[in-house]
Amino acid sequence: MKEIKKGKMVVTKFGQFMRRYRIDEIPQLLNVLKGDMSLIGPRPEIPYFVSRSRKRIPFYDTVFSVKPGLTGWAQVKFRHATSIKDYNQKFRYNLYYLKNISLSQDLVILLKTIRVVLLGSGK
């Protein structure tokens, strides 16, 4: 990212490429290998949205009952969240995942994630 005007950040062409193909997520694989994260599970969120969501969404802390994941149900079903409303929707997907957690669901998420990465698409 580079700053064009004060307070205005833009993603460079290289950054867009890295984001499109999720290359920017590769360093988090180290966290998975260290055991700090899981391959599949609710993604860690920006602290600002966590504090806001804790105040507004009942049972929000449920997402902390498992290790954060490199990819999850919300990532394959929803685009990048940019607002509180988006985070509410992501929470619903995360809650669905937690209520229905299983090896078969993890495999579906993994296959959908591979498709998103290979096609460079996302929701």
The model's pTM: 0.74
Q: How confident is the model at residue 49 (pLDDT cuts 50, 70, 90)?
A: confident
* Pair 119, 22: CB distance under 8 Å: no
Q: What is the β-pairing status of strands 38-40 and 69-71?
A: parallel
CA 43, 1, 79, 22 torsion-angle sign: negative
Indicate the SS3 state at residue 8: strand
The three-point CA angle 114-53-30 to 5° equals 35
Q: How confident is the model at residue 21 (pLDDT cuts 50, 70, 90)?
A: confident
Element (H, E) at 31: helix 27-34
